[in-house]
Amino acid sequence: MDIEGQARRAYRSVQGNFVVTESWRNQLVLLAVLIFGTALLIYLTADYPEMFVQRIEFGELVLPLPLFPIYALALLALLLHRLLNECFVLAPDYLLYIEGRLSWRRRTIRLYYQDIREIEIDQTLAQRVVNTGNVTVTPLAVGVERTLVVDGVKNPRLLKDLLLARREDMATKRARINASAQS
């Protein structure tokens, strides 16, 4: 199967563009802390309600408010922020880096494939086990210190190969256009 077909199976496709975000597999530790911590707090709330239940009074009405949902919601919000805050969108001619989708500040950078200097993959041992990794794209422009990084990408080797293939396709198209313009 060609690299585009593999990418179609591995990444989400929106209007013909691949959208690459952080994989949930990269957050297994946080997910385990969320599940086990919530289970522990539910157990402790059942056994020691005086410590883990806040009582809110509205006149004669008293509402017991267990505190474990606050812990679970905070960790769930952190998990969603890590998974959805930044992404790469691979359009036919360029790479779009979007950072801050769930933040007050949003930054969008468009980088044409022929302007990519280097693509690096950084993987820890745990990331190699679950086939995720951090992908860093460095632009070709001199003096530009910005590198584009998406952490915990699923199948980072495929993403790197796809970016390299698209860079080569753009170089081939540019060479054909230059050759036809000269003749």
| In the chain, where the domains are located | 3-29+79-182
d(CA 106, CA 90): 18
User: Can you say whether residue 90 is alpha, beta or left, with left for phi > 0 and alpha for psi between -120 and 50 degrees?
Assistant: beta
22 DSSP 8-state letter:
B
d(CA 83, CA 12): 14
pLDDT score of 155: 93
Q: What percentage of the chain has pLDDT greater than the value 90?
A: 27
Residue 121 is which amino acid? I
- Name the more confident of 130 and 171: 130
Confidence of residue 1 (pLDDT cuts 50, 70, 90): low
Tell me phi and psi for residue 115, to 5 degrees.
Answer: -95, 10
Confidence of residue 142 (pLDDT cuts 50, 70, 90): low
To which H or E segment does residue 72 belong?
helix 68-84
Q: Exposed, middle or buried by CB within 10 Å (0-12, 13-18, 19+), for 129?
A: exposed
d(CA 87, CA 21): 5
pTM surpassing 0.75? yes
Max mean pLDDT range (21-35, 38-52, 55-69): 21-35
The CATH code that applies to domain 3-29+79-182 is 2.30.29.30
Torsion, Cα of 108, 113, 117, 118 (10° steps): 80
Say whether pLDDT at 102 is over 80: yes
pLDDT score of 137: 92
pLDDT score of 143: 59
d(CA 96, CA 77): 25
Contact 69, 55 (CB under 8 A): no
Confidence of residue 122 (pLDDT cuts 50, 70, 90): very high
d(CA 33, CA 28): 9
